């Protein structure tokens, strides 16, 4: 967040919503959020299919669409590369205290793109209307319009790639509050149009508050290091963003247990941060969901404050949170990590590919006329900078190994390109073609697909 001084002659502060916004007596509004520069989409709105070569570094195609011509509400679609099956459909609502942020800004574009790549999901990032120009419930209405639009599969990308039986609502902070309220509306008569329940909600540091402070909120001012969100500023938030129409006892910001327990979702993920003043309300929300019979994942990030993952996405705690969210959305036993997917052999790059050399010192190098051998390979990557051990198998003869030995350490080098960071274990699979080589019996390059098991 950026600290800035009030404009000359703006007067004293009338509403202090730091670190998002300040309103001065003279009517001047000072917006404090940085990372607001817009990022252009990779595709224009007329393209019905993602074009190879126009993807972001993480292999994600993006395109902007208008959801509601009357209100002007729009969204950015994030489609991971190499899609062969229908994907989970995630409606994502950005944070920003209902007054700042954009689906097209660098901060939230980066997060939504990473989410699409890591979870292997089609993400619809909704650019909802903001207060004070559009007081709540405008953002809630926009969220509902986005859900109806997305589940209708009217857009070509949605019709071709989205799985309407796997719909998720997600967001952080104010965006999590929007996701909750959209889910509440889906539980009522307005949701009768949906053939399936919402598969899940993923609420990251949700912005819930109340007229009466919890014990941890009352003690926040006594901390050696004050929280990013001060309780007295949160007291002023809801009356301001509703245009004075509601107070902090509003069930949309202080949801009653019956609303939470009746959400039309099978599963839920709630993430809280240790230093966040909103932590206890998030934990209470998760407990209410459990009492309602939902399968709930509670993720607690130690030593972190509100929305830390947006501003420091490379931190271990932020990476772990993204992994948990991705696993929640795509909870398969072995989930492909799209950021390591090279479009199913449409291209090859050394630093994210699988390299396989079959050494056979007892046999002469294969002649140039030797047949090509297709293969798959699997194994474990044991260190962030070292090679892998694994086994390769022919596609046409699944029981025949390409190389000898259970791990092929002596005869096969399986290398995923240079990486830095903490050593870790994970599995991988690869697919490609063994071509004749005079250096060794066979050598090959192939696509490597990271999997989390």
Active site residues per annotation: 173, 276, 306
CA 166, CA 199: separation in Å to the nearest integer?
Answer: 5
SS3 at position 190: helix
- Give the number of other CB atoms < 10 A from CB of residue 345: 13
DSSP state of 219: T
Q: From the CA atom positions of the chain, what is the Rg in Å? A: 25
Peptide bond between residue 104 and the one before it cis (omega within 30 degrees of 0):
no
CB 200 within 8 A of CB 176: no
Cα–Cα dist 281/263, whole Å: 17
Cβ neighbours of residue 123 closer than 8 Å, sequence gap 6 or more? 77, 78, 90, 92, 112, 113, 115, 116
The secondary structure element, H or E, covering residue 195 is none
What's the token pair of residue 100? 């700042």
Angstrom distance (rounded) from CA 451 to CA 433: 20
- DSSP E strands in 184-263: the ranges are 198-204
Distance CA 297, CA 202 (A): 9
How is residue 206 written in tokens? Answer: 């949700």
* DSSP string of 100-164, one letter each residue: S--TTBHHHHHHHHHHHHHHT-EEEEEE---TTTS-TTHHHHHHHHHHHHHHTT-SHHHHHHEEE
Burial 130-167 (b: 16+ CB within 10 A, else e): bbeebbbbbbbbbbbbbbbbbbebebebbeebbbbebb
Q: What angle do CA 316, 318, 323 make, to 5 degrees?
A: 95
């Amino acid at each position: 967040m950026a600290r800035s001084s009030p404009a000359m002659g703006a007067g004293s502060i009338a509403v202090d919503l730091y670190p998002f916004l300040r309103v001065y007596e003279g009517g001047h509004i000072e917006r404090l959020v940085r990372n607001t520069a817009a990022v252009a989409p990779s595709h224009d709105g007329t393209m019905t299919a993602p074009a190879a070569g126009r993807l972001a570094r993480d292999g994600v195609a993006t395109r902007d669409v208008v959801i509601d011509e009357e209100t002007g509400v729009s969204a950015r679609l994030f489609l991971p590369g190499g899609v062969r099956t229908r994907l989970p459909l995630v409606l994502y609502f950005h944070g920003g205290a209902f007054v700042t942020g954009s689906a097209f800004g660098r901060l939230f574009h980066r997060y939504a793109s990473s989410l699409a790549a890591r979870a292997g999901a089609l993400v619809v990032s909704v650019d909802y209307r903001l207060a004070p120009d559009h007081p709540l419930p405008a953002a809630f209405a926009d969220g509902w319009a986005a859900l109806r639009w997305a589940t209708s599969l009217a857009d070509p990308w949605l019709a071709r790639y989205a799985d309407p039986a796997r719909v998720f609502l997600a967001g952080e902070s104010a965006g999590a509050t929007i996701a909750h309220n959209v889910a509440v509306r889906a539980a009522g008569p307005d949701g009768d149009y949906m053939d399936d329940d919402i598969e899940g909600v993923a609420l990251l540091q949700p912005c819930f508050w109340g007229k009466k402070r919890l014990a941890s909120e009352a003690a926040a001012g006594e901390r050696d290091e004050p929280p990013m969100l001060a309780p007295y500023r949160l007291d002023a938030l809801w009356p301001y963003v509703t245009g004075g129409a509601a107070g902090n006892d509003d069930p949309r910001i202080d949801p009653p247990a019956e609303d939470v327990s009746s959400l039309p979702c099978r599963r839920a993920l709630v993430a809280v941060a240790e230093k966040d003043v909103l932590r206890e309300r998030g934990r209470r929300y998760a407990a209410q969901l459990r009492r309602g019979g939902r399968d709930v994942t509670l993720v607690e990030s130690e030593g972190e404050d509100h929305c830390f993952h947006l501003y420091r996405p490379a931190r271990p705690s932020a990476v772990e949170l993204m992994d948990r969210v991705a696993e929640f959305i795509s909870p398969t036993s072995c989930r492909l990590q799209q950021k390591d997917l090279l479009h199913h052999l449409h291209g090859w790059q050394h630093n994210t590919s699988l390299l396989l050399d079959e050494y056979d010192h007892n046999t002469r190098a294969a002649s140039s006329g030797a047949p090509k051998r297709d293969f798959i390979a699997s194994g474990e990557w044991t260190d962030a900078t070292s090679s892998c051990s694994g086994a390769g198998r022919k596609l046409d003869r699944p029981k025949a190994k390409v190389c000898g030995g259970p791990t092929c350490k002596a005869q096969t080098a399986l290398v995923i390109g240079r990486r830095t960071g903490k050593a870790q274990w994970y599995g991988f699979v690869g697919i490609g073609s063994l071509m004749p080589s005079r250096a060794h019996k066979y050598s090959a390059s192939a696509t490597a697909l990271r999997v989390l098991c």
